[in-house]
Amino acid sequence: MVTVRGQAYTLEAVVAGTILLATLVFASQAAAVTPLTASTSSQHIENQERAVAEGTLASATENESLVSTLLFYNVSEDTYYETDFNQQYAEAPPTRFGDTLESVFRDRGVAFNVQLSYLVGGEERNQRRLVYMGAPTDSAVSASRVVTLYDTDEVTEPNGSVEGSTGRTLANVTSTGGDSFYIDDVSQGPVYNLVEVEVTVWRM
């Protein structure tokens, strides 16, 4: 029996896939143009990569793989799962969003960094690297998306080749002694925090 929730998840996946496919089609069509001057061609490529980055973030927001990656955190060790000694990823994280970054960018010879910015009280914001593949070139472009975290969002953990829910909410984690989450709860209401996710891409 197909449930309403199951139908909703299926619809989200279809919408997300359509957004990403449309973005990639646009990028490929935009690349098939008549010869351009060097400067115009460079600008054209940058616009193309920015559009792909924006579409990737939009798709990941729709299918919730972006928020799931933000929640992919070892609360008992206070670090992302499977990161290097800098507590950041040197390549795509082992999540659904990471798989998308790998297929959309890395497989085309495009490097990427992912930077997070979130509230730490009042209007002050903290920045943290999620993925750092190196210093971007002068031709790098960026796209960003704001993700809302809620008290009821569940922290995720490794589950096979991707991530799965731990069953523990952010509200539960932050109220339990000894465990911690890298982003603080800055609201008295149901909203936990607002996280800006910025993806910077450049050709290797």
- Listed in sequence order, the residues at least 6 apart from 110 whose beta carbon sits closer than 8 Å to its beta carbon are 49, 201, 202, 203, 204
Query: How much is the pLDDT for 177?
Result: 79
Reduce the DSSP state of residue 185 to 3 states and report it. Answer: coil
What is the per-residue pLDDT across 35-45, written as a single tens digit (0 to 9) for each? Answer: 555 566 678 78
What is the per-residue pLDDT across 143-192, written as a single tens digit (0 to 9) for each? Answer: 999 999 999 999 999 998 889 999 999 999 988 878 999 999 999 999 99
Residue 153 vs residues 29, 55, 81, 137: alpha-carbon distances, Å: 39, 24, 18, 36
d(CA 163, CA 156): 6
